[in-house]
């Protein structure tokens, strides 16, 4: 069942030991994913004794998974360089290797981001022409959702790195949103929309993107509030600012929700109001639930690797897995390989920016 070649199933490798909760949230997440997805099969890597008690609760998972036991795991606070050295037989490394060996079409982990990136790069390798893989996520927006990258893999970048992120993000947006022949619009995250604004490396990237032919359509500079406006399809930034923006957004969401809960429990009249508005409030909760957007996708690797939020609960982790299934179904990696080989045959700006 677990051999991708001999099966119609989409096989996803799961690192069951990563994140704050391990199998206690990850196995229930798989239970959620398998509902209505009979074509999915999980290769679960981790401590069998810790996994099994949760597995028994989900009958639908019975024929849809296989446990690959290991009692080794990458610690959440381990330095990536240490993780590389000590990764042999860890649940994270074995799960990545399953993708490398074509046993699985994608790997999902809620573990240590730095270690996951370092191990993925080492095992899966970066695509030809790509200097630095980046982490991308789907960000909810009023007009439309955007793909934003980098979210933490590359803290200091130059113009050329940003141009590469724009290319990787465009290819991803096109495949993920099934845009076919439409070019996704690409914005560079900056502190103002005027040409003269911002640091030199961002203005440099703008100059290149407005000149070259690439899989996206350069829009111009965007600002922090354009993320939730949904101004463009792809937002490009360095990993430091991207990570700060992502976590700031998460924080503001929690802040406002705190006061919403407060508003509808503060007095009997308000509680009655909340009751009348029950379905609308439930819809509101869904519309603004960041868990539905969980999952950072590593772009630029020869394989699909998805990083779940470390604090993800079952619902949240399930959405990271659903992303992996979606990308695997799209044949995303073959798609990237095609686009990149097409690009590199045309021009050399993937490596030189010119």
Q: Is 311 in the site for a copy of itself (CB under 8 A)?
A: no
Per-residue x/- track, 251-270, a copy of itself (CB under 8 A): xxxxxx-xxx-xxx-xx-xx
Residues 6+ apart with CB under 8 A from 20: 76, 110, 310, 311
Residue of 36, 88, 142, 180 that binds a copy of itself (CB under 8 A): 142
Instruction: Between 34 and 153, name the residue whose CB sits nearer to a copy of itself.
Output: 153
Using the rule CB under 8 A, give the single segment among 178-186, 221-229, 315-323, 341-349 that binds a copy of itself: 221-229
- What size, in residues, is the chain? 354
Q: Note whether 58 binds a copy of itself by CB under 8 A.
A: no
* 344: nearest Cα among 130, 124, 125, 121: 130
d(CA 80, CA 151): 17
204 is an interface residue for a copy of itself by CB under 8 A: no
Site mask for a copy of itself (CB under 8 A), range 101-120, x = bound: --------------------
Q: Which is nearer to a copy of itself, 60 or 76 (CB)?
A: 76
Closest to a copy of itself by CB, 269 vs 345, is 269
303: left (phi over 0), alpha (psi -120 to 50) or beta: left
Restricted to residues 321-340, the positions that interact with a copy of itself (CB under 8 A) are none
For 176, residues 6+ apart whose C-beta sits below 8 A from its C-beta are: 138, 147, 326, 327, 330, 332
Q: Which residues bind a copy of itself (CB under 8 A)?
A: 77, 79, 140-142, 152, 155-156, 189, 191, 194, 196, 198-199, 223-229, 237, 239-241, 243-256, 258-260, 262-264, 266-267, 269-270, 272-281, 283-284, 287-288
């Amino acid at each position: 069942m677990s051999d991708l070649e001999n099966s119609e199933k989409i096989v996803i490798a799961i690192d069951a030991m990563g994140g704050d909760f391990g199998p206690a949230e990850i196995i229930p997440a798989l239970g959620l994913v398998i509902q209505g997805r009979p074509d999915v099969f999980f290769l679960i890597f981790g401590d069998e004794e810790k996994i099994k008690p949760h597995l028994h609760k989900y009958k639908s998972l019975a024929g849809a998974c296989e446990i690959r036991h290991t009692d080794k795991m990458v610690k959440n606070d381990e330095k990536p360089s240490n993780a590389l050295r000590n990764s042999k037989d860890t649940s994270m490394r074995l799960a990545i290797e399953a993708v490398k060996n074509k046993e699985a079409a994608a790997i999902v982990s809620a573990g240590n981001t730095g270690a996951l990136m370092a191990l993925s790069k080492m095992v899966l390798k970066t695509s030809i022409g790509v200097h630095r893989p980046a982490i991308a996520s789907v960000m909810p927006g009023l007009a439309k959702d955007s793909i934003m990258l980098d979210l933490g893999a590359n803290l200091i970048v130059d113009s050329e790195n940003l141009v590469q992120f724009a290319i990787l993000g465009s290819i991803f947006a096109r495949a993920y949103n099934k845009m076919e022949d439409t070019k996704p619009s690409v914005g560079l995250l900056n502190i103002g929309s005027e040409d003269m604004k911002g640091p030199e490396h961002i203005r440099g990237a703008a100059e290149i993107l407005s000149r070259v032919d690439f899989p996206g359509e350069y829009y111009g500079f965007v600002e922090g509030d354009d993320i939730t406006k949904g101004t463009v399809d792809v937002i490009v930034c360095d990993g430091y600012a991207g990570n700060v923006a992502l976590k700031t957004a998460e924080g503001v969401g929690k802040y406002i929700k705190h006061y919403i809960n407060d508003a509808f429990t503060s007095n009997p009249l308000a509680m009655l109001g909340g009751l009348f508005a029950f379905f609308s409030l439930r819809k509101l909760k869904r519309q603004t639930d960041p868990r539905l957007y969980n999952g950072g996708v590593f772009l630029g690797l020869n394989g699909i690797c998805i990083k779940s939020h470390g604090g993800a609960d079952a619902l949240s982790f399930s959405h990271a897995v659903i992303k992996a299934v979606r990308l695997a179904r799209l044949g995303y990696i073959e798609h990237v390989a095609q686009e990149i080989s097409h690009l590199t045959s045309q021009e050399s700006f993937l490596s030189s920016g010119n």
